[in-house]
């Protein structure tokens, strides 16, 4: 839906929201451990730990035997954790003895408000209202090409704001790009805004064709409340901000009504992978799904941006069974990861979600593919590789441009192959 002029003006106002002035979470003397369950019994121990205490923050899903699981552990909880791991004979490795210090050593370079005349750029990360103001400016400066869209609402009353780009002046096959559904994955919204800018300004012929041949719908922030919270209070926050018992938020990428909460999600409100009390319990996912449903038949390619691990993934997350058009998915996958490698030599791997990374039911990509007849749906897990926590969720700002450049290279190749296979016809 296009935003009215009055709503556009209203969005320019800064709204004081409850919780913004809260004390910022710090992780001084918290430890970072990497553990690995070698059998089902050990995996069950880690699963129980995941839901037992908010003093242990799991950075990875506890789903697969043999997969590394990283945990941020409060100082007072360390003796208990080590005793439990020891009794279960679970192998572990201390990766950082002071997570706050490790985080502080990573220069994310957040934009400082009030710099007169400084244009929106990709040398730094921006807060939500800065990006929204930039999107509004694009709509004003590009009439008939850029239209503001509202993909939904949030628990705290924010808009899920994005843009529709019709550079050819008429409707073309649709590509929908959603980013930032997990709040702490800052590189995803930054890459989404980079792509918006390139679609409007690039003189590279392949990118110009990408802009001319398709109607684009881009939502840089699918979880605005969570993103604001990562700036004001807790840099490692992942979920929405809906209150549930003594905890807050559900995982908005486990909350979609497609095989909801069957596997790879938690029923514990304190867990980072809490699926919510029901499918579409979160206004963010419910309202965004309603917007997507209004576009049914117009979207042929759905792209979701996440971080981190350098994966390219396609359905399904709830089962190891493969999509009926998996041969085409593999063709698109092959050309896309080849393209992402050309500029900087960055290596992506992947495949179907369930087998390539871990079981994860209730994701946006699966819902788009499974319910909206979007026959090509992909999830990118952007830089870096899974080997580093330091430059994981806190990817240095200096990497925004190269990470976004190689992503755009990949999307150019992806769209071309999807077109070759006839999905845009």
pLDDT at 197 over 50: yes
Please compute, for residue 135, the number of CA atoms within 13 A of its CA located in the half-sphere on the CB side: 35
Q: What's the confidence (pLDDT) of residue 387?
A: 67
The CA distance from 67 to 108, in Å, is 28
First to last CA, the chain: 25
- In the annotation, is 381 catalytic? yes
pLDDT average, residue stretch 187-194:
98
pLDDT average, residue stretch 124-131:
97
Q: What's the confidence (pLDDT) of residue 389?
A: 61
pLDDT average, residue stretch 33-50:
94
67 vs 206, higher pLDDT = 206
Q: Output the six-digit token pair for 297.
A: 């038949």
- The helix (H) or strand (E) run that includes residue 285 is helix 283-294
Q: Output the six-digit token pair for 377.
A: 């749906």
Sole residue written with tokens 């552990």: 73
What does residue 57 show for φ and ψ, rounded to 5 degrees? -100, 115
Tell me the per-residue pLDDT of 236-264, one tens digit each, with 9 for 90 and over. 999 999 999 889 999 999 999 999 999 99
pLDDT average, residue stretch 174-198:
98
Please report which confidence band the pLDDT of residue 154 belongs to, taking 50, 70 and 90 as the band edges.
very high
pLDDT average, residue stretch 177-187:
98
Q: What's the confidence (pLDDT) of residue 111?
A: 86
Q: What's the confidence (pLDDT) of residue 14?
A: 34
CATH class for the region spanning 31-97? alpha beta
Give the range among 27-36, 44-53, 211-220, 414-423 with minimum mean pLDDT.
Answer: 44-53
pLDDT at 172 over 80: yes
387: which residues sit within 8 A by CB, 6+ positions away?
none
Q: What mean pLDDT, rounded, does the chain reach?
A: 92
pLDDT at 27 over 90: yes
Residues in the chain: 425
CA distances from 129 to 13, 105, 136, 231, 422 (A): 9, 26, 10, 12, 39
pLDDT at 411 over 80: yes
- The helix (H) or strand (E) run that includes residue 287 is helix 283-294
**73 within 8 A of 100, measured Cβ to Cβ:** no
Give the range among 110-124, 214-228, 318-332 with minimum mean pLDDT.
Answer: 110-124
Q: What's the confidence (pLDDT) of residue 390?
A: 55
Residue of 178, 381, 405, 406 with catalytic role: 381
Please report which confidence band the pLDDT of residue 4 belongs to, taking 50, 70 and 90 as the band edges.
very low
CATH superfamily of domain region 128-420: Zn peptidases (3.40.630.10)
Which has the closest alpha carbon to 304: 345, 266, 360? 360
pLDDT average, residue stretch 80-99:
95
Please report which confidence band the pLDDT of residue 294 belongs to, taking 50, 70 and 90 as the band edges.
very high
Segments making up each domain of the chain, as ranges: 31-97, 128-420
Q: What's the confidence (pLDDT) of residue 64?
A: 87
Tell me the per-residue pLDDT of 346-392, one tens digit each, with 9 for 90 and over. 999 999 999 999 999 999 999 999 999 999 999 999 999 876 665 57
Asked whether the domain spanning 128-420 has the same topology as the one spanning 31-97, the reply is no
**176 within 8 A of 367, measured Cβ to Cβ:** no
Helices (H), 58-204: 78-87, 99-104, 128-141, 187-201
Q: What's the confidence (pLDDT) of residue 13?
A: 38
Q: What's the confidence (pLDDT) of residue 115?
A: 61
pLDDT at 114 over 60: no
Scored b (16 or more CB within 10 A) or e, 231-266 reads bbbbbbbbbbbbebeeebbbbbbbbbebbbbeebbb
What does residue 256 show for φ and ψ, rounded to 5 degrees? -80, 150
């Amino acid at each position: 839906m296009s935003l009215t002029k009055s709503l556009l003006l209203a969005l320019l106002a800064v709204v004081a929201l409850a919780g913004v002035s809260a004390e910022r979470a710090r992780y001084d003397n918290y430890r970072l451990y990497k553990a690995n369950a070698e059998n089902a019994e050990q995996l069950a121990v880690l699963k129980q730990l995941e839901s037992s205490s908010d003093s242990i923050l799991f950075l990875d899903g506890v789903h697969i035997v043999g997969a590394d699981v990283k945990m941020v552990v409060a100082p007072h909880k360390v003796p208990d954790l080590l005793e439990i791991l020891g009794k279960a004979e679970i192998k572990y490795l201390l990766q950082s003895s002071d997570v706050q210090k490790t985080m502080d050593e990573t220069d994310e370079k957040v934009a400082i408000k009030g710099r007169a005349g400084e244009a929106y750029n990709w040398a730094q990360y921006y807060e939500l209202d800065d990006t929204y103001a930039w999107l509004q400016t694009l709509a004003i400066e590009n009439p008939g090409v850029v239209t503001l869209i509202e993909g939904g609402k949030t628990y705290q009353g924010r808009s899920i704001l994005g843009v529709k780009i019709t550079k050819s002046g008429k409707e073309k096959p649709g590509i929908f790009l959603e980013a930032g559904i997990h709040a702490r994955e800052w590189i995803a919204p930054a890459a989404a805004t980079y792509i918006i800018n390139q679609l409007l300004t690039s003189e590279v012929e392949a990118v110009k064709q990408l802009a001319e041949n398709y109607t684009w719908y881009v939502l840089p922030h699918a979880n605005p409340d969570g993103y604001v919270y990562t700036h004001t209070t807790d840099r490692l926050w992942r979920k929405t901000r809906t209150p549930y018992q003594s905890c807050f938020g559900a995982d908005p990428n486990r909350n979609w009504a497609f095989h909801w909460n069957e596997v790879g999600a938690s029923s514990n409100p304190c867990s980072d992978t809490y699926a919510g009390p029901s499918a579409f319990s979160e206004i963010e996912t419910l309202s965004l799904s309603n917007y997507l449903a209004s576009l049914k038949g117009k979207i042929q390619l759905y792209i979701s941006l996440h971080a981190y691990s350098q994966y390219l993934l396609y359905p399904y997350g709830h089962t190891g069974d493969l999509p009926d058009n998996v041969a085409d998915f593999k063709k698109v996958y092959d050309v896309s990861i080849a393209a992402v490698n050309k500029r900087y030599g960055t290596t992506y791997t992947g495949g179907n979600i369930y087998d390539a990374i871990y079981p994860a039911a209730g994701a946006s990509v699966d819902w788009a593919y499974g319910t909206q007849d979007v026959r090509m749906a992909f999830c990118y897990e952007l830089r870096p590789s899974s080997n580093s926590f330091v430059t994981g969720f806190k990817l240095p700002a200096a990497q925004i441009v190269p990470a976004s450049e190689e992503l755009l290279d990949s999307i150019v190749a992806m769209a071309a192959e999807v077109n070759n296979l006839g999905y845009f016809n």
